[in-house]
Amino acid sequence: MHDQEVDRKQNLRETTEEAKTVESAIAKGVERLGVTRDQVEYEVLEEGSQGVFGLIGTKPAKVIVRKTGVAADEVSAKIEELVTNLIRLTGITAQVKIEVEDDIHRVDIETVGVDGLLIGKKGESLDDLGHLVRRMVGKQLKKSVRMDIDVGGYKKRRGSALKNKAMSLASRAKSSGKEMQMEPLSAAERRVVHLALADDPQIKTFTIGEGDFKNVVVSPASRGGHSSGGGGRQGEERYGGERRGGERRGGE
């Protein structure tokens, strides 16, 4: 029976899938085809819609996922070419290295003393570069490619600093019984904080604010005022994490 399933996946070249989001539909297609993400291309038939309040008029995303002969090393070569050309347009000399880990192309850029120009304020320029490269690679290869772009180890250092601060605020929140608040962070940075404290049963985290940069609140789990069942604070977001004691952990 197992051999029959393997043969079926090997013979299947494409599949049409539906899900709440395009990314989820692609993931279903990848699993059905029995391949990895870098071995498929996709065509979006329907973007999908959340409807009104996520209840009325919702429509699933619909995509066609096809096997492709583009191997991981070819994808890496294309990413390196695009990143190198984009950086060259800025007049900056840089070295680009790419490693593939868990189906993610990890791109590390090294410059000669001018990393800050590519990183930008709070990593905004780096985020913009990553977004642009992902779109360009996806368009040229007609497939979604998972990648993470860093400059001079900035993301690793920033992530470590955020985790340390989150742990420190959690300790203060538990000892004082009061909520503590991080500075405004990007979506990726907020996720780092939420995940850093996700396993602490005495702490809950959530996000408040407007715009792209929002504040993560680190609060004692026993403290009231933040319910996953409605209400909440103006501008508050909830993280799609696990529930503990009636609270939804995180805020993104």
Q: Burial of 96 by CB count in 10 Å (0-12 exposed, 13-18 middle, 19+ buried)?
A: middle
End-to-end CA gap in the chain: 42
pTM, rounded to two decimals: 0.58
Residue 65 contacts residue 27 (beta carbons within 8 Å): no
How many C-alpha atoms does 63 have within 13 Å on its Cβ side? 25
- pLDDT reading at 3 higher than 60: no
Does pLDDT of 145 surpass 60? yes
What is the Cα–Cα distance from 151 to 145, expressed in whole angstroms? 19
* H-assigned helices in the chain: 2-11, 22-33, 72-89, 115-119, 124-141, 154-176, 187-196
- Overall average pLDDT of the 56-85 stretch: 84
pLDDT at 245 (0 to 100):
32
Show the domains of the chain with their CATH numbers: 14-67 (no CATH), 72-152 (3.30.300.20), 156-248 (3.30.1370.50)
Between residues 218 and 50, the one the model is more confident about: 218
Whole-number Å distance between alpha carbons of 26 and 29:
5
Structure tokens at 251: 């805020």
* Element of type H or E holding 94: strand 94-101
**Amino acid letter at 146?**
R
Q: What percentage of the chain reaches a pLDDT higher than 90?
A: 52
Task: Name the burial class of residue 9, with classes exposed (0-12), middle (13-18) and buried (19+) by CB atoms within 10 angstroms of its CB.
Answer: middle
Which pLDDT score, from 0 to 100, does residue 70 have?
66
pLDDT above 80: residue 233 = no
| 22-68: pLDDT as tens digits | 999 999 999 998 888 877 888 999 988 766 555 666 789 999 998 87
Q: What is the pLDDT of residue 164?
A: 96
State the Cα–Cα distance between residues 227 and 29, nearest whole angstrom.
36
- Tell me the average pLDDT of the chain: 82
Least confident of 40-54, 64-78, 153-167, 188-202: 40-54
Q: Are strands 104-111 and 147-151 parallel, antiparallel or unpaired?
A: parallel
